[in-house]
Amino acid sequence: MLSIEFLLNALIAGLLLGGFYAAMSAGLSLSFGLLDVVNIAHPAFIIFGSYLTFYVNEHFGFDPILAGLVFAVPSYFLGVAVYRIYYNCFEKTGAESLRGLVFFFGLFFLIEVILIITFGVDYRLVRAFYIGKSTSIGSVGIAYRLFVPFLVGGILAAVLYLFLTKTFFGRAIMGVAQDSLAVQLMGVDPIRIKTVAFGIGIATAVIAGSLLIIIGPVEPTIGREYIGRVFAVTVLGGLGSMTGTLVGGLILGVAESFTSSFFGPSWALAVSFGILLICLAVRPSGLFGR
Amino acid sequence: MSKERKLFLIVAAVLIVGSFLITTQMENRFYYKAAYVVLQYVVLATAWNILGGYTGYVNFGTAAFFAMGAYTAVALIKTWKPPLYVLLVMGGLVSGLLGLGIGYLTLRLKGVFFSIATLALAVVLQMIISNWSYVGGGAGTAILKPRSVPMFSNYDEFLFFVMAALAVVSVAVAWLIEKSWVGRGMAAIRDNEEAAECMGVPILKLKLFATTVSGALMGIAGAPFSYFVVYIEPTSAFHLDYAVNSLAMPMIGGTTTWLGPLVGAVLVGTAQQIATVTLSSEMNLLIVGSLLVGFVVFAPDGLVGLFGKIRARLAGREA
């Protein structure tokens, strides 16, 4: 009954899914992991991106990934605006812990309700030439609808990694994460850096949204399922570590894939929260924690 | 007994008797249903505020405690159909224990991690209940209301009276906590946990007390739920609306006093009942969401805080 092929298939599917999970969590790793902005609305921005992609795909036949990349630009400014509000109302007055959290929770809920009102509660999906096809290496099947998001997600994580370690701005972000006062003394405005970083976080969320709707149909309230996942990946990988986010995503993907293969898909959701709870209890700094 | 406490108890007793007298006069069943929902939110918002507003730990998992109360009741009804007060006690007990467990989490989890853990709890519990066929599983189960109760003309009126009494009791509990050293200790935890500990506030005991009482009240509010809706299924019992509303109502009313959640729940709850009838349930959620974000951004102390400011300004002008 338990064949090698079965295990191998589950493993490959899990790894592919995991690459996507990493892409989904990269933005959160940036805003929450590095800059302590508890953007609990991150999954809602992902779903928002999915619906933007759906809209232009349905009406103008845009390729989903192209749509995601195009929408990443305006969503950067959306992120900047959200962070400005957050900073002025909460961070500046030191009220971020309770009210800031509630603010993002309210934002999450608002985005969800607005999507329901505009698009209804039906599942939506996109069309593209690579969706629905698959290839096989030996006995292992690889569906393109999983492979493409894996690829794009991997590239996204790699670009973010290079950005953070090689460019001036990226290093400034890391600097703010380590010691915001020191950065300020070097003549860099930490708030401006944080604004840019948060904007990039939202932009990646929207790209991840276009990947999500390639993987499967999306409905407005699906974001809730991803709160656990994105936070599990970010915490498991270690806050603010891009390598950690990638590894964390892969671990979660494989764990979920095996769980749904052995116990049924309805238990897969418990995996992320289980990992999250265990990780917080045993090693809150994660695998690659600073 | 202080004069203030005497007055408070008298008002509470009058309200309970008053709600009983209403049931002997009013006929329209819709109003009872609507009032039940509003009163249920008074309990939930007050319970949330004991942990969130007084102690500063944001609970996103109200639905988990509420639904555990409801499903404890369902399990009991399926086995031996005990009277309602047993359901209330057992629902409160189970959710109180759940709250105690969550309380121990606060040892390691602060801020957002605590909040996510409560959300995780709700998702995991919903999954377990959905896979537990004895209480109906994911498809849900129908619950038969008792045919009649003495002194009440129908069961909805009885449930309304029970929820009114529970609302009064929970506000009284919040009031008692707030006026005692326990409430002051909780406020100290909210403002600065380390400093509070250094000053000798028994922070773990107080946090455990807060999570337990808060959870138990939510469970008690959930216990009569299956009788109220007649058909119970996990999606409705664990609905995110409970988490959002029970957090939005204190935020809109004001989180630092017992009055805030009460005002918030009555106003927002009533507005929602009207909006559901006249507009649509999505619009009503949009209103709550916008109010929540708006109040958090523009009026962080809620309506109670706003009134306080206006009163202070008026007093200043007179002087």
Residue in B106, B110, B116, B240 to test binding to A, most A beta-carbons within 10 Å: B116
Report for A144-158, B41-55, B153-167: range of highest mean pLDDT: B41-55
At residue A1, the pLDDT reads 53
What CA–CA distances, in Å, run from B317 to A68, A240, B307, B308?
57, 52, 15, 14
* Alpha helices, DSSP H, located in chain A: 4-28, 42-60, 64-86, 101-119, 144-166, 168-178, 180-185, 190-215, 223-237, 242-263, 268-282
* A227 lies within 8 A of chain B by CB: yes
Q: For chain A, how many structural domains are there in total? A: 1
Nearest CA in chain B to A91: B297
Q: Are A5 and A252 in contact (CB under 8 A)?
A: no
Q: Is A3 on the interface with B (CB under 8 A)?
A: no
Average pLDDT, chain A: 85
Q: Which residue of B has its CA nearest to A113?
A: B286
Tell me the β-bridge partners of A5: none
Residue A281 has pLDDT above 90, yes or no: no
For residue A96, pLDDT beyond 70: no
Pairs of CB atoms within 8 A across A/B: 103
Q: A278, A219, A213: which is closest to A252 by C-alpha?
A: A278
For residue A290, pLDDT over 70 is answered with no
- Domain of A72? 23-225
Mean per-residue pLDDT, A105-131: 86
- Angstrom distance (rounded) from CA B75 to CA B110: 34
pLDDT tens digits for B186-211? 888 888 888 888 888 888 899 999 99
Largest CA distance in chain A: 65
Instruction: State how far the Cα of B16 lies from the Cα of A238, in Å rounded to an integer.
Output: 53
Query: Range with the lowest mean pLDDT among A40-44, A107-111, A143-147?
Result: A143-147
pLDDT digits (tens, 9 = 90+) for A27-73: 888 888 788 888 889 999 999 999 999 999 888 888 888 888 999 99
CB atoms within 10 A of CB B179: 15
Question: Which of A66-80, B64-78, B208-222, B279-293 is least confident?
Answer: B279-293
- pLDDT of B13-29, one tens digit each? 888 888 887 777 777 77
Read off the pLDDT of each residue in A106-123 and give the average, rounded to a whole number. Answer: 89
**A109–B289: do the CB atoms touch at under 8 Å?**
yes
Closest-CA residue of chain B to A266: B127
- The pLDDT of residue B319 is 54
Tokens, residue A10 = 């589950």
Average pLDDT over residues B74-99: 90
pLDDT for the residue numbered A95: 66
Please give the DSSP secondary-structure letter assigned to residue B37. Answer: H
Residue that has been written with the tokens 């964390």 in this structure: A248
Contact B124 A270 (CB under 8 A): yes
Closest residue in chain A to residue B110, using alpha carbons only: A97
Residues of B in contact with A219 (CB under 8 A): none
Tell me how close the Cα of B290 comes to any Cα of chain A, in angstroms. Answer: 7
The pLDDT-based confidence of B318 (bands split at 50, 70, 90) is low
d(CA B218, CA B256): 19
Residue in this structure with the two tokens 């969503």, named with its chain if needed? A75
A270 contacts B112? CB cut-off 8 A: no
B-chain residues near A113 (CB < 8 A): 282, 285-286, 289
Interface test with B, best of A36, A273, A279, A285 (most B CBs within 10 A): A273
Q: Name the residue in chain B with its Cα closest to that of A271.
A: B124
Q: Is residue A215 part of a domain?
A: yes
User: pLDDT per residue over B246-297, tens digit each?
Assistant: 988 998 888 888 888 999 999 888 888 888 777 777 787 888 888 888 888 8
pLDDT for B29: 74
Picking from A60-69, A162-171, A174-183, which range would have the lowest pLDDT averaged per residue?
A: A174-183
Is A147 an 8 Å CB contact of chain B? Answer: no
Looking at the partner chain, which of B108, B120, B190 has a beta carbon nearest the beta carbon of A273?
A: B120
Rounded to a whole number of angstroms, the distance from the CA of A162 to the nearest CA of chain B is 29
User: CB distance B297–A40 less than 8 Å?
Assistant: no
The total of other beta-carbon atoms located within 10 Å of residue B2's CB is 8
Residue A165, min C-alpha distance to chain B (Å): 27
- In the predicted model, what is the mean pLDDT of residues A170-183? 82
Q: Which two tokens stand for residue A168?
A: 């001036």
Contacts of A282 in chain B (CB under 8 A): none
Give the Cα separation of A169 and A172 in Å (integer): 5
Give the per-residue pLDDT at A2.
Answer: 64
Does residue A46 belong to any structural domain of this protein? yes
Which residues lie closer than 8 Å to A107 by C-beta, 6 or more apart? A41, A44, A82, B293
Identify the band that residue A204 occupies on the pLDDT scale cut at 50, 70 and 90.
very high
Q: Which two tokens stand for residue A36?
A: 């302590």
Q: Rounded distance, CA A278 to CA A91, Å?
A: 30
Q: Which two tokens stand for residue A105?
A: 């929770």
Cross-chain CB nearest to A99 (options B113, B138, B300): B300
**Whether A213 contacts A50, CB under 8 Å:** yes
State which H helix or E strand residue B236 sits in: helix B234-237
pLDDT for the residue A142: 81
Residue B168, C-beta contacts closer than 8 angstroms, at least 6 positions apart: B12, B15, B16
| Percent of chain A residues past pLDDT 90, beyond the cut | 20
Contacts of A32 in chain B (CB under 8 A): 112
Taking the C-alpha atoms of residue B81 and residue B143, their distance in angstroms, rounded to an integer, is 10
Confidence class for position A81, pLDDT limits 50, 70, 90? very high
> Where residue B7 falls among pLDDT bands split at 50, 70, 90?
confident
The first and second tokens of residue A230, run together, are 């994105």
- Give SS3 for A141: strand
Most confident segment among A175-189, B35-49, B150-164, B226-240:
B35-49
- The answer to whether B297 contacts A85, with C-beta atoms less than 8 Å apart, is yes
Burial per residue of A67-82, b for 16 or more beta-carbon CB atoms within 10 angstroms, e otherwise: bbebbbeebbebbbeb
User: CA B70, CA B84: separation in Å to the nearest integer?
Assistant: 12
- State the average pLDDT over residues B20-41: 82
The pLDDT, as a whole number, for residue A77 is 95
Whether the per-residue pLDDT at A140 is higher than 60: the answer is yes
B150 to B153, B155, B223: CA distances (angstroms): 8, 10, 20
Smallest CA–CA distance from A117 into chain B, residue: B282
- pLDDT confidence tier of residue A91, bands split at 50, 70 and 90: confident
